[in-house]
Amino acid sequence: MSFFAAFREGGLALQQRVENLFDVFFDAAGNPWRHLGALGFFFVWLTAASGIYLFAVLDTGIEDIHTSIEYYTQEQWYLGGLLRSLHRYSADALIVVMLLHLAREFFYGRYHGFRWFSWITGVPVIWLVYASGIGGYWLVWDQLGQFSAIASAEWFDWLAIFSTPAMRNFITPAAVNDRLFTLLVFLHIGIPLLLLLALWVHIQRISRADVFPSRSLGWGTFAMLTALSLIKPTVSHGRADLSMVPQTVGIDWYYLFAHPLMYATSPAGLWAIAAVATLLLCILPLLPHPRQPPVAVVDPANCNGCRRCFEDCPYFAVVMEPHPDKPGHQLARVVPDLCASCGICAGACPSSTPFRSVERLVTGIDMPRQPVSALREEMECKIAALAASPKIVVFGCECAANARRLESADTAVLNLMCSGLLPPSFVEYALRGGADGVLITGCREGSCAYRFGAQWTEGRMSGTREPHLRPTVPRERLRIAWADRPEAGSLAAALAEFRKNLQDLGADEKRPRAYTPRRIAYHG
C-alpha cells in the first residue's frame, strides 16, 4: 500500500471513530461530524443575516465607522453587539467546518469519478470564504483592520497586477478617504454574493443537498454561538491611524494567519504556498484511483416510467424522457457521467421483485455488476445451504462494516454495493424461502457512501417510501443495524441479539407463507 493510500485509510479510520464517539451523545441527525456541509451552509446563512443587519444600522464612512461600531458594541450590546459577535463567531465556525468537511471528503475518497465536479467547484469556495472574511476586518477600520489591509496590499503588490501599487492607498491618513471605504464596502458585499453563487454551483450535481441542519443540530449550534457571544463579546482594537504602526494586535487566526506567515517568509513565499495548496486540491481527481463499476442500465421493455428511480437518485443521474415505444409514457435514462453505480435506483424499481415467475429476472433499471436476478439466485442457494437454526439472512454493504465475517452455519451473508440496492420484497422472499429472520446493515446516516442508502432503506422497510415492505411481513423477523467500518464488533453483537430474539420467538411463529423455490445453479 502506498503512503498516500495508507494516510487516507488511517485518516478515515480516525474520522469514523470520532463520528461513532459523537453518536453516543447525539443521534445521527444531530451529530455535527456527519453534517459538516449542512453546518457550513448554516453558518453562511447566519453570517449573512447578521451582516445585513449590521450594514443597515452602521454608519459607513471612514470617520464614522469605528464610532458607530463602538456604539452598537458597547451601548446596544443586547442587539447590535450580540449580532456583531454572532457575525464574527459564525464566520470563524464556517472556516472550521469547511476545512473539516474538506478533510472528511478526502479521507472518504470522495474527490474523483462522478464526484470530481463537486470537489473542483469547492476549491474556489475556499478562496472566496477567506476573501470575504478578511475584507470584513477592513471595514471595522481599527488597528487590526489597518494591519490586515496593509499586509494584503503588500501581498498583492508583489504580483504587479495594478498600474499603481495598492500600498499607495495606505501611505498617509489622507490617502484613506470615503471613496476607498466605499470600494471596501462594495468588495465585502460583492465577494459574499460570488460565494453564494459558487456554493450554488458546488451542489448542482447533488439532489436534495443538505443545506440546512436538523432542528436539534441547528438550534443547538445557534445556542452555543449565542452563549459564546454573550460570554466573550467581539470588541474592536483602537481606531486605525496610518501615522503610526500598531505594536500589538489580536490576530484572528482563522482568517488572518496568512499575514504573519507572509512576514515570516515573504510575499512570494506566501503566493507559492497558496498556489501549491490550490494546485494539489485541483489535481487530486486526476490521481490514480479505483475504477468505478459499470453504471446503471435501463431496460425499456420493463420500465413503466414510474419515476421512482428518478426521485431516489442521489446525483441527478436519472432523467425521464418520452418512451420511444409507448406514446404518452415516460422512460428513464441514465446519464453515465453522473451515475455513482450505487444501485439505489434498482432498489427503487417496482419490477425488481423476486416473486416474478421468470427464469431470468429483468428489471426496469439494474446494475450490471450486481443484477437483481443474480442477487435472487445467490440468496436462494445460500438459504438452502444453511444447516442450523434460526436461519438468518444478512444483507450487508461493501462500504460499511464487514458483514462477511458473520457468515456461519445459520447465517447467510449477501454483500450489496449499497444497502439502498435492496428491494423490500427481497425481505419477504427470504422469509418465505426458509429464513427465520433478515438483518440489514450498511453505513450510518451521514456517512453513507451514496448519501441516501440508509435513509431510503429505512423508509422502504417502514412503509414511508415506495416501494415499501408489505404490512403482512412480520416486523419482528426484520432487524436493521447500521454500522460503519470500524464497528464490526457492534454488528456482530446486533446479530447475536437478533438470533436470541428469533430463538425466543420460535422458528415457525408468524412466518410468511412459504413458496417452492426454483432450482437454479448458483455460480458465485
**Average of pLDDT values for 453-481?**
94
Q: What is the pLDDT of residues 234-277, one digit of tens each?
A: 999 988 888 787 778 889 999 999 999 999 999 999 999 999 99
With cut-offs at 50, 70 and 90, classify the pLDDT of residue 519. very low
For residue 239, the 8-state DSSP code is B
Whole-number Å distance between alpha carbons of 266 and 276: 15
Give all strands (DSSP E) within 246-362, no chain letters: 297-298, 318-322, 330-334
pLDDT of residue 520: 34
83 closest CA partner among 178, 200, 222: 222
Question: Is residue 517 over pLDDT 50?
Answer: no
Strands 330-334 and 365-366: unpaired
pLDDT of 508 reads: 55
Range 227-233 average pLDDT: 96
pLDDT of 84 > 60? The answer is: yes
**Is the distance from CB of 365 to CB of 297 less than 8 angstroms?**
yes
What architecture (CATH level 2) is domain 35-286? Up-down Bundle (1.20)
State which amino acid sits at residue 377. E
Q: Which pLDDT tens digit goes with each residue over 152-205? A: 999 999 998 877 787 777 767 777 877 878 888 889 999 999 999 999 999 999
pLDDT range class, residue 117, cuts 50, 70, 90: very high
H or E segment and range at residue 437: strand 437-440
Q: Which of residues 250 and 90 earns the better pLDDT score? A: 90
**Phi and psi angles of residue 464, each rounded to the nearest 5 degrees, phi first:** -95, -5
Where are any strands of DSSP class E within 420-509? 437-440, 478-480
Q: How confident is the model at residue 290 (pLDDT cuts 50, 70, 90)?
A: confident
492, containing H or E segment: helix 488-505
pTM of the model: 0.90
Q: Nearest Cα to 66, choosing from 248, 180, 236?
A: 236
- pLDDT-above-90 percentage for the chain: 73
Q: Using the predicted structure, report yes or no on whether residue 512 has a pLDDT greater than 70.
A: no
d(CA 416, CA 353): 16
> Range(s) for CATH 1.20.810.10 in the chain?
35-286
From residue 199, alpha-carbon distances to 98, 126, 131, 215, 281 in Å are 12, 10, 15, 22, 17
Nine-digit cell at 6?
Answer: 495508507
Going by pLDDT thresholds of 50, 70 and 90, the confidence category of residue 415 is very high
Mean pLDDT in residue range 353-376: 90
Using DSSP, state whether 158 is helix, strand or coil.
coil
In this predicted model, what pLDDT tens digit does every residue of 332-353 receive, in sequence order? 999 999 999 999 999 999 999 9
- Residues 198-223: pLDDT tens digits? 999 999 999 999 999 999 999 999 99
Residues in the chain: 524
- Looking at per-residue confidence, does 83 or 486 come out higher? 83
pLDDT at position 510 is 55
| Separation of alpha carbons 440 and 381, rounded Å | 19
Distance of alpha carbon 274 from alpha carbon 130, whole angstroms: 12
